[in-house]
A and B are shown apart, each in its own frame.
Chain A
Amino acid sequence: MTRTAIFTRADIIVVCVAILMLPWLYQHFWGDGSRGEIARVQVAGQAPLLIPLHRSQRYTFDGPLGTSVIEVRDGRIRFVESPCRNKLCIHSGWLQRNSEFAACLPNLVSITIAGHNPRFDSINF
């Protein structure tokens, strides 16, 4: 009785293709290709404001609690100052890829990175 091999030739090909596909997946979903160009900032029920990410600048927004400060630099965007208690929005850090999201619920300010043609006006969970 001969011992059968664990891998057939076709198995090795499948495994190699799968492993070679991984860097492409990371590149595609995590790489520069998924970088957003525009941030949508929504403040307290007002119409969303579109902010381009290629121009470094600071923006201030007045919400019900006070002033939220948002900074754009190097194609990224973040909350830098917020009147809220937990500062979860600031701890969200930099946003740069498509669909990344940060919000300050107490001050009703939210940021989403969007492409040029966002499919939804709003999303509820």
Chain B
Amino acid sequence: MNAPAPLRLRTNRDDHRIAALAALAITIHIIEAALPSPIPGVKPGLANVITLVVLFLYGWRDAAWVSLLRVFAGSLLLGSFLTPTFALSLAGACSSLAMLGLVWRLNPLLQGIGFKLGPVGFSVLGACAHMTGQIITARLLIIPHDGLFHLLPLFITAAVLFGIVSGIISQLILSRLRQEQ
């Protein structure tokens, strides 16, 4: 009798790189989940620093992989997979990735007229898209009440602040990496 051929997953260098970066993002995500937050729903989102760095180093496709892997693996590890929290997390990630993808496409055009966006601009736009996507998803799926939108100003304020902070950290990491090359 022939033994069944062992299942082998072929991986290449790209896969390994994405996996390593996603692991880094998941670690930050979980450490952050352990920190108490003064306002429910508001947290710094420092794992997005990794998404931004990957975006600038390897492009949008890799950034999307890292971000979505973080959402899925992070929720599995925290036990929130397929819960409302997960739905909001996924909605936020998809919205910010859509925004990042759009601006990533536009950026060469902007560069042509001397207005190239750096990590800070990407970060703020991504964070605002993240929050808006989350609130709309919460309104559609979880709390069907317009009172939810009263939270929007607070959430967007937090998004802008943390977006700037994440962007600055990303830029510092990127310039450090470029120096070492």
**Interface residue ranges, A against B (CB under 8 Å):** 1, 3-11, 13-15, 18-19, 21-22, 25-26, 29-30, 34, 97-101, 120, 123, 125
Contacts and interface: CB of A to CB of B under 8 A. Distances in A.
Given A4-B178, A15-B121, A18-B124, A10 B153 contact: no
A14 B172 CA distance: 19
B128 interface: yes
Contact of B145 (A11, A22, A123): A123
A37 B125 CA distance: 35
Nearest to B119: A11
4 tightest A-B CB contacts, nearest first: A11-B121, A10-B115, A14-B121, A99-B147
A123 B148 CA distance: 14
A8 B121 contact: yes
A18 B128 contact: yes
A114 to B, nearest CB: 10
Given A8-B116, A18-B124, A100 B156 contact: no
A123 B144 CA distance: 8
A6 B168 contact: yes
A84 B69 CA distance: 50
Contacts of A25: 152-153, 156-157
A98 B117 contact: no
A98 B91 CA distance: 26
A22 B153 contact: yes
B153 A6 contact: no
25 contacts: A3-B175, A4-B178, A5-B118, A6-B118, A6-B120, A6-B172, A9-B114, A11-B117, A11-B124, A11-B167, A18-B124, A18-B128, A18-B163, A19-B160, A22-B153, A22-B156, A22-B157, A22-B160, A26-B153, A29-B149, A29-B152, A29-B153, A99-B145, A101-B145, A101-B147
B10 to A, nearest CB: 38
Q: How large is the interface on B (under 10, 10 to 19, 20 to 34, 35 or more residues)?
A: 20 to 34
Contacts of B145: 99, 101, 123
B14 interface: no
Nearest to A30: B153
A34 B171 CA distance: 39
Nearest to A27: B153
Nearest to B149: A29
B124 to A, nearest CB: 5
Given A29-B150, A99-B146, 20 more contacts: A4-B171, A4-B175, A6-B118, A6-B168, A8-B117, A8-B118, A8-B121, A10-B121, A11-B119, A11-B124, A14-B120, A14-B124, A15-B121, A18-B124, A22-B156, A25-B156, A25-B157, A30-B150, A99-B150, A120-B144
B12 interface: no
A62 B144 CA distance: 29
